[in-house]
Amino acid sequence: MTAHPGPAARSGATRPQPVRMPRSQRRAQLLAAAQEVFVAQGYHAAAMDDIAERAGVSKPVLYQHFPGKLELYLALLDKHCDALVSRVREAMAATSDNKVRVAGAMQAYFDFVDGEGEAYRLVFESDLRNDPAVAERVERAERGCIEAVTETIMADTGVSRDRAELLAVALTGAAENAARFWLASARAVPKPDAIALVAALAWRGISNFPLADGRPDD
């Protein structure tokens, strides 16, 4: 019996082969494709087939880099959680002016939610938050941001760690919630104005704590 060629063979079409690229570049490409799929569909509805197709590679190529969907998702979480913590730490280290630091912390969260490809959804709105590995990463990011602010408050005011940490939780919580509300409201307030408003509110409270040398922080 003679085998009949399939539609692709009859038309002379062949599946395009993925362009060869360094492993790190391929990994970045796959992560970008996965982010688009996860944000659009959520973790549970997303399929490795969808991600491979979005990246323009075969599933074997995808599995060479990530053994499964969860590992791919966790790699994205690591990337974006680390980015958020870095933004907050950089805001704390960028200046010794605490008023500017407060504004910088607010901006870190606003920039994060306003960043590339709605990546903030993977951290703040994941449909996989009950998974222990996901929960651990999100909690680690939250703790990293809180710790960065806590250390700064302790160094400048001399208050105890417990009190500094409570203030840091309030500050980062306000930043996250305000930034997410701002985005959900279709950026009704211009971003610089939104940051300035929330920073001014936070500063009115935290500036009441004197510096360690007894001077008011004005």
For the stretch 128-173, pLDDT in tens is 989 999 999 999 999 999 999 999 999 988 889 999 999 999 999 9
Domains in the chain: ranges and CATH: 22-67 (1.10.10.60), 76-206 (1.10.357.10)
Question: Cα separation of 102 and 202, whole Å?
Answer: 7
For the stretch 31-43, pLDDT in tens is 999 999 999 999 9
For the stretch 3-29, pLDDT in tens is 455 444 444 445 456 567 899 999 999
Question: Cα separation of 26 and 20, whole Å?
Answer: 8
For the stretch 54-95, pLDDT in tens is 999 999 999 999 999 999 999 999 999 999 999 999 999 999
Question: Cα separation of 79 and 101, whole Å?
Answer: 24
For the stretch 88-106, pLDDT in tens is 999 999 999 999 999 999 9
Q: What pTM does this model have?
A: 0.84
